[in-house]
Amino acid sequence: MSLTVHGLRPAGVESDFITAENLTAGYRDKIVWRDANFTFGRGELVAVIGPNAAGKTTLFRIMLGLQQPIGGTIKIFGAPPRRGNPKIGYVPQRHVIDSETNIEALELVRLALSGRQWGFNPFSHNDRDAALAALEAVDAMDVAHRPLGVLSGGELQRIFLAEALVSNPEILLLDEPLSNLDMRRETDLLHLVDDVVRSRGITALLIAHNINPLLPHLDKVVYVASGKVATGKPSEVLTSESLTALYGIQVEVLRDPHGNVAIIGLEEHHGDV
């Protein structure tokens, strides 16, 4: 059984950017999760949460066309995912940039736009202008000419965001952009993502370890755990009743007076930041 809460629109209409029906992910001999159903429309901000190794990144890999689903269907703008879709911007999870990479941030963003082109074209300035505009959009002009290797975690995440935005995507996939950020920078980055997503009508999926800082910004949540996927509005999905019904075991969702949630029963370490 799967639990699905669609938005206000009926599934399958043209405004749906991403739709999945009974989507099942895994490898030949192992299912990671099964029967995911969801619909994301234009401009929605979606958190993908769940314990480590539950298959959050797998969902991204399927959307990027890097991995084939083993069951069900997924459509992006009405078509199956394909590798290199220019409408999708992607920020992979990364640990560190080598501190000896002495290439300025602007070059990375610029290459994200022109890096697919063969041939040597030293005199093109279109990509440079576009890269500067993307850096402006993420408020990173101050570090545009600084080497990647010396940037802080927060500065790097902005650069990576600019790198994804420079080709004007309609879908943004952000894999753990908040890891390695302190609370203040976490809040700053979330506000930035929220602004960019709303102002450009981008649908953004964001993998996170802890859902609480995201709650004020979210339209939907995808909860991946124990081989199942729950999707819908946070207030509907993250309740003891719905998760208990989905998993068939007793799951408790606790809320504190500030609205923070903790999910108990499915994972041992939820909420560790």
Partner 1 sequence: MQHAFEAGTMIAVIAGVTGYFVVLRRSAFTAHAFSEMGFAGAAGAVLLAGGLLGENAPIVGLLLGSTTGGLAIAALARRATNRDTQVGIVLAFTLGLGLLFIRLYPAYATEAYSILFGQILGVSINQVLLTLVASVVILSTVAVVYRPLLFASLDEDVAEAKGMPILFLGTVFMLLVAVSVSFAVQVTGVLLIFSLMVTPAATAQYLARRPQRAIIISVAISLLATWVGLFVAFYTIYPVSFFITAIVFALYLLVRLLHQRTTWGRASSVKVGGEGVDKRNG
Q: How near is the Cβ of 140 to partner 1 at its closest, in Å?
A: 10
Nearest approach in angstroms of CB 242 to partner 1 is 33
For partner 1, the binding residues (CB under 8 A) are 64-66, 82-86, 88, 90-92, 94, 98, 100-104, 107-108, 111-112, 114-122, 142-143, 145, 147, 152-155, 163-164, 182, 185
- Tell me how crowded residue 73 is: count the other CB atoms within 10 A of its CB: 11
Q: Which is nearer to partner 1, 88 or 197 (CB)?
A: 88
Residue 47 vs 143, nearer CB to partner 1: 143
Angstrom distance (rounded) from CA 39 to CA 75:
10
Beta carbon of residue 75, minimum distance to partner 1 (angstroms, whole number): 18
Tell me the C-alpha distance between 176 and 190, whole Å: 12
Tell me how crowded residue 2 is: count the other CB atoms within 10 A of its CB. Answer: 15
Q: Is 7 exposed, middle or buried (0-12, 13-18, 19+ CB in 10 A)?
A: middle
Put residue 151 in one of left, alpha, beta given phi > 0 → left and psi -120 to 50 → alpha: beta
- Measured from the CB atom, the residue of 99 and 250 that comes closer to partner 1 is 99
Cβ 117 to partner 1, closest distance in Å? 6
Minimum CB separation from partner 1 for residue 106, in Å?
8
For residue 31, list its beta bridge partners.
Answer: 26
Partner residues linked to 203 by β-bridges: 171
Nearest residue (CB) to partner 1, 68 versus 250: 68
In terms of CB distance, is 101 or 199 closer to partner 1? 101
